[in-house]
Amino acid sequence: MNIGGIDLDTFLTAMLATGLLRAVPLVLAALGEAVAERAGLLNLGIEGMMLNGCFFGFYAAYRTDSMVVGMVAGILAALVLGLVFGVLTITLRVDQVLVGIAITIFSLGFTGYLFRDLLGGRNVSADVHPLRISIPGLREIPIIGKALFDQQAIFYLSWALVPVFAFLLKRTRFGLNVRAVGENPFAADAAGVDVVRVRYLAIVIGGIMAGFAGAYLAVADLRIFTEGMTVGSGFIALAITMLGRWNPYRIVIGAVLFGMLRALGDGLQVIGVDIRTEFIGMMPYIGIMLALVVLAGRTALPSALGVPYVRGHR
CB of residue 226 to other proteins, shortest distance in Å: 13
CB of residue 95 to other proteins, shortest distance in Å: 3
What is the per-residue DSSP string for 196-229? HHHHHHHHHHHHHHHHHHHHIIIIIIS-B--TTT
Residue 237 CA to residue 171 CA, distance in Å, equals 24
Residue 43 CA to residue 250 CA, distance in Å, equals 20
**Sole binder of other proteins in the list 1, 123, 127, 313 (CB under 8 A):** 313
Nearer to other proteins, 7 or 95 (CB): 95
Nearer to other proteins, 120 or 137 (CB): 120
Q: Which amino acid does the sequence have at 86?
A: G
Strand partners, 266: none
Nearer to other proteins, 269 or 299 (CB): 299
257 belongs to the binding site for other proteins (CB under 8 A) = no
**Sole binder of other proteins in the list 5, 137, 142, 297 (CB under 8 A):** 297
Residue 114 CA to residue 108 CA, distance in Å, equals 10
Nearer to other proteins, 13 or 111 (CB): 111
CB of residue 296 to other proteins, shortest distance in Å: 5
Query: CA nearest 178: which of 276, 302, 66?
Result: 302
Q: Which parts of 174-233 interact with other proteins (CB under 8 A)?
A: 174-177, 179-180, 183-184, 186-193, 227, 232
Q: Which parts of 48-67 interact with other proteins (CB under 8 A)?
A: 48
Q: How is residue 91 annotated by DSSP? A: I
Q: Which parts of 2-41 interact with other proteins (CB under 8 A)?
A: none
Nearer to other proteins, 64 or 184 (CB): 184
- With CB under 8 A as the rule, give the number of residues binding other proteins: 82
CB of residue 237 to other proteins, shortest distance in Å: 12
CB of residue 37 to other proteins, shortest distance in Å: 10
Asked if residues 41 and 89 have their Cβ atoms less than 8 Å apart, the reply is yes
Please, what's the largest Cα pairwise distance for the chain?
70
Nearer to other proteins, 13 or 230 (CB): 230
C-alpha torsion sign, points 241, 280, 97, 301: negative
Q: Which parts of 76-115 interact with other proteins (CB under 8 A)?
A: 84, 88, 92-99, 101-113, 115
296 belongs to the binding site for other proteins (CB under 8 A) = yes
Nearer to other proteins, 132 or 171 (CB): 171
Asked if residues 214 and 76 have their Cβ atoms less than 8 Å apart, the reply is no
285 belongs to the binding site for other proteins (CB under 8 A) = yes
Burial 172-194 (b: 16+ CB within 10 A, else e): eebbebbbbbbbbbbebbeeebe
Of 55-63, 155-163, 254-262, 273-281, the window that binds other proteins (rule: CB under 8 A) is 273-281
Strand partners, 2: 7
Distances (CA, A) of 190 to 37, 236, 279, 314: 21, 35, 52, 11
CB of residue 90 to other proteins, shortest distance in Å: 11
Asked if residues 51 and 229 have their Cβ atoms less than 8 Å apart, the reply is yes
Nearer to other proteins, 105 or 131 (CB): 105
Q: How many CB atoms lie within 10 A of CB 150?
A: 17
Letters for 148-177 (x = contact with other proteins by CB under 8 A, - = none) are: -----------------------xxxxxxx
